Amino acid sequence: MITTATISRRSIGVILSVAALLTGCVQSVSPATTPTPELAGGKNALFIPPILRDDDPSPMSSSLTLIARESNKEFLHGKTTRTYGYNGDYLGPTIRVKTGEHVSVMVVNDLTEETTVHWHGLLVDGEMDGGPHNVILAGSEWNPSFVIEQPAATLWYHAHPLHRTGGQVYRGLAGLFIIDDEESEGLNLPDDYGVNDIPLVVQDRRFADDGTLIYKTSMDDVMQGMLGDTILVNGTVDAFLEVATVKTRFRILNGANARTFEFELSDGAEFVQIASDGGLLEAPIPMRSLRLSPGERAEVIVDFSRYSKGDSISLLSTDFNIIDFIVAREEDDGTSIPERLAVVPEIAESVAVRTRVFDLMGTGLMVNINGKQMDMTRIDELVEHGDTEIWVIRNVTMGMGPMMGMGGDISHPFHFHGVQFQVLSRDGLRPPLNERGWKDTVLVNPNETVRVIVRFAHKGIYMYHCHILEHEDAGMMGQFEVR
């Protein structure tokens, strides 16, 4: 959850006083192995992923190129790490498009293994979704095209090959996918990308002494998912960002393989959440803490006008310092936070034609959904195109503990492809205000039951799965076909 903490008015000078290893990829936007700019004290300037260049001059059409390749990056001073990336050494550029726009993406696989690119949260037909069926062999290309049919939102894209998703994402195959629309552009929210509109891709990773990424070297890594001891923000270790005394929008993605973050500001100050996974909320929600599980996104605004030049504030999560914000300049602020943000039409339960139940069970290599593990030759659920359904997601632990194979005390983020849904209830109670917008991923706690409602507007074969990537790779995934 995001909380805010005590403003420590320090000067800039003071704050700055048993499996296998992963393989990697390059991004064509910056040279490989480029050290991150540092301040005294070892803090590193936050890297802002560039906007991916559009090669189509037409106003409502985009032609984009993503190249997945292996590379090197210096996360830790003086140490080189083998990585994967899109068009660069780690992660990928930000894709930015508009509602109604026709988008064509040439995806080139320069890796030595097969991969896919899944558009997480995007409403597209199954053949364009980029799940395990859309395999791109090593040395091959994939050219999906689609029209953006949803409102402004912060989505993301990442590798999704069968049994290999965790390793490829851990190594760097992920990036943000931002949608704009006329309504959001007319709200006067902070929207100057990289200035007062900042992407924060938050991940935890584990490094060996020589800088090598460590991946799945213990049974805990399989059972709990990969939990790292080093925080990366946009691929930057020990990140800081210089900000002005203005309202600043942060598009936060939990890009971790398995860790759920509980965000807060270091001075306990309030911030406002304006968007969830699938777009703007109906109204801004004042908050002091924000929980995001793997795959979830949130847009929040922090008003730095309450601070003075030279102040520093940190974004925290439990035992981690995520990033330091250093108030470096005083500026006038022309942006605002309106009382109403968007219309989120409530889907009435009465229009649902069917209810389905999904029991998340097991641990380690025995994780499953409804007693079944992923089988590419089996369609688990058949859905009629245009239908509205209620899906009931239950995290079944049975109180038997992890060694009994019934789930242990692990929360599971549940994601399904090709749709945005609305959360109806958690254990029979209305969800918190910040979960009443559009969602594509929802965290289900041990022994908890979450009900969601969804309309299936696109045809094709899609996945539903736990977004702890090691659980997904071990079989905690199924398929549904909309026909």
pLDDT at 443 over 70: yes
% of the chain residues with pLDDT over 90: 87
Domain ranges of the chain: 20-181, 197-329, 349-482
- To the question of domain 20-181 being in CATH 2.60.40.420, the answer is yes
Average pLDDT of span 197-217: 97
pLDDT at 143 over 60: yes
d(Cα 408, Cα 277) in Å, to the nearest integer? Answer: 27
pLDDT tier, 363 (very low <50, low <70, confident <90, very high otherwise): confident
Least Cα distance to 231 among 18, 76, 77 occurs for 76
Distances (CA, A) of 295 to 186, 237, 333: 28, 20, 32
Residue 37's pLDDT is 58
CATH class of residue range 197-329:
mainly beta
In our burial notation (b when 16+ CB lie closer than 10 A, e otherwise), range 31-68 reads: ebeeebeebeeebbebbbbbebebeeeeeeebbbbbbb
The pLDDT tens digits of the residues spanning 224-270 come to 999 999 999 999 999 999 999 999 999 999 999 999 999 999 999 99
Residue 397's pLDDT is 80
pLDDT tier, 57 (very low <50, low <70, confident <90, very high otherwise): confident
Query: Residue for token digits 């605004």?
Result: 301
Could you please report the per-residue DSSP string of 29-67? TS-TTPPPPB-TTS-EEPP-PPBPPP---STTEEEEEEE
Task: Provide the 10 A C-beta neighbour count for residue 250.
Answer: 22
Domain 20-181 shares a fold with domain 349-482:
yes
pLDDT tier, 407 (very low <50, low <70, confident <90, very high otherwise): very low
pLDDT at 29 over 70: no
Size (the chain), residues = 483
E strand or H helix that includes residue 369: strand 368-369
% of the chain residues with pLDDT over 70: 89
CA 182 to chain centre: 24
Query: Residue for token digits 């969830």?
Result: 276
Mark residue 341 as left, alpha or beta (left: phi above 0; alpha: psi -120 to 50; beta: remaining). alpha
pLDDT tier, 42 (very low <50, low <70, confident <90, very high otherwise): confident
pLDDT at 28 over 70: no
Distances (CA, A) of 161 to 132, 181, 224, 397, 467: 5, 31, 20, 28, 14
The pLDDT tens digits of the residues spanning 272-284 come to 999 999 999 999 9
How is domain 349-482 classified at the architecture level of CATH? Sandwich (2.60)
Average pLDDT of span 375-397: 97
d(Cα 15, Cα 241) in Å, to the nearest integer? Answer: 12
Mean pLDDT, the chain, as a whole number?
91
Average pLDDT of span 345-352: 96
pLDDT at 342 over 60: yes
pTM: 0.90
d(Cα 249, Cα 93) in Å, to the nearest integer? Answer: 19
Average pLDDT of span 50-65: 93
pLDDT at 401 over 60: no
Average pLDDT of span 124-142: 98
The pLDDT tens digits of the residues spanning 68-112 come to 999 999 999 999 999 999 999 999 999 999 999 999 999 999 999
Residue 364's pLDDT is 86
pLDDT at 19 over 70: no
d(Cα 218, Cα 230) in Å, to the nearest integer? Answer: 18
